[in-house]
Structure 1
């Protein structure tokens, strides 16, 4: 009887649960994902190796000839030997090391195996397994590591002849979500909720053979969702060029493993700080451009502002918040003919003053912002505040009816309450995407769409936005969006802006009164 998806997931979680005696749940992923991927590689290599032996058993090949034939025509990666030429020589495979779990120095052998696989496959697996600090006996006792491996070995052979990539990828995503549910705010660094990812991807609508880029890719969920989106609609997800950059080495490894487990091999995941050191560049040194750019960057990140960078169109974001710097990077990364970008950010980017206001005005004057979509609060593991999706289009590529204005959608009331966080349903996603694709008449009534179920939308021409000081606060344009939905720091920002406007108006009034000889109002 075939093992079900749920049984596989349960067995993987049983393996992860063996770690409870040694480390907090927030650290499980650094151990479980490398072990799971190592088992997947080993099972795949051994299955292919047996196929090679069976199909070539009648040939009289030397060891060197057999190796050349196998790696030329069968294997797509190498599982080399560790400790070659010694009594400890063995294959760097899961099964070989599993046979030695009762012996001292298990962590050392596991580390040697993973490092050997990285070194033997530099184009595919360089730095794949992260720092591997957990292989130290001081971090993870050998008996605990042995228990994890024995339990994980109860999962059936993880090769394509026994388990589809849909099942493998589903199991990997299950663990990602399970770790995120259990680790609280820490999970926000690498996991964006599935439904938010799907909403952004549906809005941007990737096509066959397009390039997709995530400058803060975390575990790679948005890149995978783009491929899955195409596949679900009869397209060819494998034709996408998938590209991501991630600052945290271990998290970048999680992304690479995630992509491989989903059978997506046409990808590049680079390691580094995207703002300080963008790794995707053109020959002339400028940032590389892509058809689809997606991101859920760290919110209000303190950063070292650029001093002389061509991405800083409209100005440089303040040191206290890199939100608009990420937007500027994404805008610079949009391909000129059909580039579009979608980013999730806190509401403060819509109306904060200072340098951010100057950048926002330039982006609006250049007619790059197509839509602002308000999301419900408490959707994310990393923060309970409400967020929004900003959709951008490359210069002069908006549809004619969308030019010189911005589409506002308030979907903040469309959610299902949950224990750890709120969620949005497939229906919520479908309705929001439908609102995004609706036709609006800028001269008609203020609220162009209100479905009576907590979703409202309106296209606002640029002159009206300019009259409001280029403030993009959704509540200015759709009354359904109330102040109660905003986080405290957003309310404070709004109050400070309103107070500054009042003070400026009062100063102007006193100047006019004084000029006419009327005094005493400022006492």
Structure 2
């Protein structure tokens, strides 16, 4: 029987909810995601193992080594090894094997040994996948609570491809990410960017078959997954994308790797490290590796140790008080010179702050690298309530002819719907913003042609005007802000006509009633 999305999500949340007696909701992900992925691996391995046994009943005369070779050559794509081999405690490092021991002392130790054994047996796929696993310690999470979580999660249907599609499985993973983020406050912003913001950036950058997509602050990997999903939705071959990410927090990097696997994306590489201090993706000559599509939602106004003689520092070095433009410089250095494009989410301060940041903006604009500035509503993110913006860059000389020598400004700051904990962009908001982005513009910078401006204030501003404003990119300098709420004249006229007709009908009924009562003259 097919497994519904709602069913798996409810049961996974029931498992997570068992942790409420042991830790704050902000820490649930460090336990639930490793356990969920372990169950997925175990269910998949056991499903393939049963297929191997069913299809090879005549191989009883094979040695254990020969049977192992055939199984892992033709059926399995990873190994679930034994733990404590050669001892009385020997058992397979699988979910069902360890679940059978939950009443015995030392459950956390067995879980840790199993996850470490899987990492060791599959270094190319699962190295350091499960993070620090501090939660396996009895001092952090008691065996009773861990057992309750595992028992609740075991009520989730089998997580193998024969029983559950990767769309359902990946959707459940995303559901938990969002649920944890909704309930855990600012900490969630470290690894989860709201889906609608990710979708908008990916739509703008438009990844193609066989391209590379790179996120230098990848968090849970949502932007990389969104690139693959968009390509697939458009009939492309998402499996051809080369997905690359770097994340400073080891446990979060593990969350990203598990997320990508559960979405059936295997052509990826997620490295651990500080991207500004120690970029892990480099060419053989030591220079920064370059990609077709670069996306990022870096930590805002991060204090950092500025570079000393780094080739990424075009236009200068960002100040110690804020690494915003340092992330931009890294992304520019990472753009493929033929068709590289980048989209980054930043706070509005990056648009107008002076000093070293102004010098970097000047270089970026003089080199005609900035294509668009899209103003977003306030309170979209889990980590901050401030309004943010998306900056879109193109590799030198690769802008479309009509976009050269200027910057497109779009004000989408008023387009949102209030939700429980934050504002959200609707599908219509995203569509209208994309309409504005793809619009043509007249000589005065105003949108023209089919679709117009998508109902948003937008203007293409020549670089000369920005230079005259001291390289200030504040959206309000180039798009006049409306001081009072205004309504479309056509809508007002339509509403007036409806009200007038209703009033006339009411008057006619009243006059008829009065006439029946012998009272006349009111309709003159």
> What is the CA–CA distance in structure 1 between the aligned matches of 2:364 and 2:484, rounded to whole Å?
25
Q: CA RMSD in A?
A: 1.7
Does 2:24 correspond to 1:24?
yes
* 2:8 aligned residue: 8
Q: How does 1:98-137 map to 2 (within 5 A)?
A: 98-137=99-138
* Structure 1 segments unaligned to the other structure (5+ residues): 485-523
Evaluate the alpha carbon distance shift between residue 446 and residue 104 of structure 1 in structure 2; reply closer, same or farther with a 3 A threshold: closer
Structure 1 outlier segments of 4+, above 4 Å:
444-454, 481-484
Structure 2-normalised TM-score?
0.90
Shift of 1:400: 0.6
Structure 1-normalised TM-score?
0.91
Shift of 1:448: 10
* 1:63 aligned residue: 64
> What is the CA–CA distance in structure 2 between the aligned matches of 1:357 and 1:327, rounded to whole Å?
13
The SS at the match of 1:317 is coil
* 2:353 aligned residue: 352
Q: Deviations over 1:473-500 (max 9, x none)?
A: 000000137799xxxxxxxxxxxxxxxx
Q: Deviations over 1:69-103 (max 9, x none)?
A: 11111111000000000000000000000000011
> What is the CA–CA distance in structure 2 between the aligned matches of 1:472 and 1:481, rounded to whole Å?
18
The SS at the match of 1:161 is coil
Evaluate the alpha carbon distance shift between residue 473 and residue 120 of structure 1 in structure 2; reply closer, same or farther with a 3 A threshold: same
Shift of 1:445: 5.4
Q: Deviations over 1:435-483 (max 9, x none)?
A: 1011112335599999798611100000000000000000000013779
Q: Deviations over 1:285-334 (max 9, x none)?
A: 01100000000000000000000100000000000000000000000000
Shift of 1:61: 1.1
The SS at the match of 2:441 is coil
* 2:313 aligned residue: 312
Between structure 1 and structure 2, the one with the greater Rg is 2
Shift of 1:33: 0.1
8 Å contact from structure 2 (residues 439, 449) kept in 1: no
Shift of 1:116: 0.2
> What is the CA–CA distance in structure 1 between the aligned matches of 2:448 and 2:440, rounded to whole Å?
13
* Structure 2 segments unaligned to the other structure (5+ residues): 486-524
Q: How does 1:44-59 map to 2 (within 5 A)?
A: 44-59=44-59
Evaluate the alpha carbon distance shift between residue 444 and residue 105 of structure 1 in structure 2; reply closer, same or farther with a 3 A threshold: closer
Matched positions, count: 484
Does 2:186 correspond to 1:185?
yes
* 2:88 aligned residue: 87
8 Å contact from structure 1 (residues 79, 93) kept in 2: yes
> What is the CA–CA distance in structure 2 between the aligned matches of 1:51 and 1:234, rounded to whole Å?
32
The SS at the match of 2:417 is coil
* 2:273 aligned residue: 272
Segment of structure 1 superposing worse, 58-67 or 379-388: 58-67
8 Å contact from structure 2 (residues 446, 460) kept in 1: no
8 Å contact from structure 1 (residues 447, 456) kept in 2: no
> What is the CA–CA distance in structure 2 between the aligned matches of 1:267 and 1:275, rounded to whole Å?
21
> What is the CA–CA distance in structure 1 between the aligned matches of 2:43 and 2:369, rounded to whole Å?
48
Shift of 1:199: 0.2
